[in-house]
């Protein structure tokens, strides 16, 4: 395979005062392995260290809940207490030690909170889960009393004071992310969680100034960004994950995304992390079939129309495909999720595939030195890497 010495995917990029060694990002991925009080375990340490050794420029933690009721499951990680900072700082330190910029994602799960772990069914918790596993259900909240799916619990509509409290919780979470030493922050505004449900006309039926018109529906998201920016340092980049389109007709559209991105840009969001769907339990393929890079067109459109930096994500598995996304100007960052679970060294392997064996020098020497030697032997023997 011909090598591209100038692979754009491998070029460093600086956003505010943070320099990313390349454009490859590990997308936030919940592990459902936290303690009941929202703290990480050895699993998270191994998982994130392993990914950092794998050569990504930026790694996001899984969604960290800003309050206990904002968790999806009893195994989610949290950032609602000062005592949660120290164990998260250990994770950030491990990621940085192995060369990745450490990033954190913060979230409130809204009406999709209080569910079983995926492998227990991913359905709303009931008293049966409490009897079986000690997982007690809790009441969920949302902008309006509309269930995420037929048969799911109806969330309680947040009052204005409660909305204010969640904004304070987002701000406090951003402060703790800073105190833990993370260098990038992603606000989870996608996938049907609390912020997304304010944006979409399908989940927001409020008749106060948080509902109805576009300007009202985006109010909460803008307030979250302001709250987070008030605690997140001006020299550090802020990412925002958005569901750029809803998965049902009559919902949030790509034009809405472009309009919101412009507002975000003015308020200090640096990178739009372009995802989609999730308002309801199962995403459908009605709007965008699930093909490799299915969400790239959203990142491309936002980048072109707003001049904002974007991140593309979704079924990206091939190094040349990832390279083309950056080289063709569709996105500034490429995030991989499940592929990194399959192959934690995907970023480092992509670098070698795109730019040749010299790239083994960028691996930690405990691996890279040997692999470079092996590469020479294979080459001499006329064998492929
Ligand atoms: C195990 C798992 C956990 C996930 N957890 C999160 C999460 O905490 N926050 C988030 O924004 N997305 C989450 N996602 C979505 C991924 O970040 C990503 O957007 C999605 O998997 C599509 O990318 P992929 O095709 O490369 O996996 C999760 C995905 C997986 C597979």
Enclosing H/E stretch for 287: none
Going by pLDDT thresholds of 50, 70 and 90, the confidence category of residue 304 is: very high
Asked if 174 contacts 228 with a C-beta cutoff of 8 angstroms, the reply is: yes
The rounded mean pLDDT for the chain is: 95
Distance set, CA 161 to CA 166, 167, 197, 218 (Å):
9, 10, 18, 18
Quick one: 190 exposed, middle or buried, by C-beta within 10 A (0-12, 13-18, 19+)? buried
Residue nearest atom 14 of ligand 1, based on CA coordinates: 29
Question: Ligand 1 within 6 A of 376 CB?
Answer: no
193: annotated active-site residue: yes
Over residues 306-321, mean pLDDT: 97
pLDDT of residue 112: 97
CA atoms within 13 A on the CB side of 227: 21
What tens digit of pLDDT does each residue of 59-106 get? 999 999 999 999 999 999 999 999 999 999 999 999 999 999 999 999
Q: Is 330 in the pocket of ligand 1 (CB under 6 A)?
A: no
Report CA(191)–ligand 1 centroid distance (Å). 10
Catalytic residue among 193, 220, 240, 298: 193
Distance 292 CA to ligand 1 centre (A): 15
State which of 25, 30, 59, 117 you would mutate to test the pocket of ligand 1, scoring each by most atoms of that ligand within 8 A of its C-beta. Answer: 30
DSSP code at position 144: S
208-246 pLDDT, tens digit per residue, is 999 999 999 999 999 999 999 999 999 999 999 999 999
Which one has a higher pLDDT value, 4 or 356? 356
* Band of pLDDT at residue 247, cut at 50, 70 and 90: confident
Give pLDDT tens digits for 114-169. 999 999 999 999 999 999 999 999 999 999 999 999 999 999 999 999 999 999 99
- Which ligand 1 atom sits nearest the alpha carbon of residue 105? 9
**How far apart (Å, rounded) are the C-alpha atoms in residues 242 and 244?**
5
Task: Output the CA 381–ligand 1 centroid distance in Å.
Answer: 41
Residue 27 alpha carbon to ligand 1 centre in Å: 6
At 17-51, the pLDDT tens digits run: 999 999 999 999 999 999 999 999 999 999 999 99
DSSP, res 115: B
Say what percent of the chain tops pLDDT 90: 92
Q: What pLDDT band is residue 290 in, cutting at 50, 70 and 90?
A: confident
CA-339 nearest atom, ligand 1: 26
**pLDDT score recorded for residue 285:** 43
Task: Find out if CATH 3.40.50.1100 is the number for domain 9-333.
Answer: no
Segments making up each domain of the chain, as ranges:
9-333
- Residues 6 or more apart whose Cβ sits within 8 Å of residue 344: 50, 51, 53, 54
Q: What is the pLDDT of residue 257?
A: 98
| Chain Cα centroid distance, residue 111 | 19
Query: Exposed/middle/buried for 64, CB within 10 Å: 0-12, 13-18, 19+?
Result: buried
Query: For residue 191, what are the contacts with CB-CB under 8 A and spacing of at least 6?
Result: 112, 241, 243, 275, 277, 278
Predicted confidence band at 289 (pLDDT cuts at 50, 70, 90)? Answer: confident
Q: Which residue lies with its CA nearest to atom 13 of ligand 1?
A: 29
pLDDT value of position 282: 53
Higher pLDDT, 48 or 284: 48
CA distance 166 to 158: 10
Would you state the pLDDT for residue 309?
A: 98
């Amino acid at each position: 395979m011909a090598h591209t010495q100038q692979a754009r995917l491998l070029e460093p990029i600086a956003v505010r005062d943070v320099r990313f060694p390349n454009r490859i990002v590990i997308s936030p991925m919940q592990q459902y392995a936290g303690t009941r009080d929202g703290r990480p375990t050895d699993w998270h340490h191994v998982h994130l260290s392993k990914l950092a050794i794998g050569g990504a420029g930026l790694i996001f933690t899984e969604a960290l809940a800003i309050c206990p009721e904002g968790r999806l499951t009893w195994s989610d990680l949290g950032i609602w207490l000062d005592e949660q900072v120290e164990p998260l700082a250990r994770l950030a330190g491990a990621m940085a030690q192995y060369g990745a910029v450490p990033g954190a994602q913060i979230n409130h799960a809204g009406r999709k909170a209080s569910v079983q772990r995926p492998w227990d069914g991913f359905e709303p918790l009931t008293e049966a889960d409490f009897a079986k596993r000690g997982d007690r259900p809790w009441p969920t909240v949302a902008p309006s009393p509309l269930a995420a799916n037929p048969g799911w619990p109806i969330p309680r509509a947040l009052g204005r004071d409660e909305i204010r409290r969640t904004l304070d919780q987002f701000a406090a979470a951003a402060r703790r992310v800073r105190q833990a030493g993370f260098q990038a922050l992603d606000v989870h505004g996608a996938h049907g969680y609390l912020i997304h449900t304010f944006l979409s006309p399908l989940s927001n039926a409020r008749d106060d100034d948080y509902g109805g018109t576009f300007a009202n529906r985006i109010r909460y998201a803008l307030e979250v960004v302001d709250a987070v920016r008030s605690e997140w340092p001006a020299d550090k980049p802020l990412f925002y994950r958005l569901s750029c389109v809803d998965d049902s007709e009559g919902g949030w559209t790509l034009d809405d995304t472009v309009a919101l991105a412009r507002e975000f840009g003015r308020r200090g969001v640096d990178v739009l992390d372009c995802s989609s769907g999730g308002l309801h339990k199962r995403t459908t393929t009605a709007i965008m079939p699930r093909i490799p890079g299915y969400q790239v067109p959203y990142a491309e459109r936002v980048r072109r129309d707003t001049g904002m930096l974007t991140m593309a994500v979704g079924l990206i598995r091939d190094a040349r495909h990832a390279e083309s996304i950056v080289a063709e100007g569709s996105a500034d960052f490429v995030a991989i999720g499940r592929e990194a679970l399959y192959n934690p060294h995907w970023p480092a392997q992509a670098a070698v595939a795109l730019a040749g064996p010299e790239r083994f020098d960028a691996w930690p020497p405990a691996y890279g030195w040997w692999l470079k030697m092996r590469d020479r032997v294979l080459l001499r023997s006329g064998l492929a890497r």
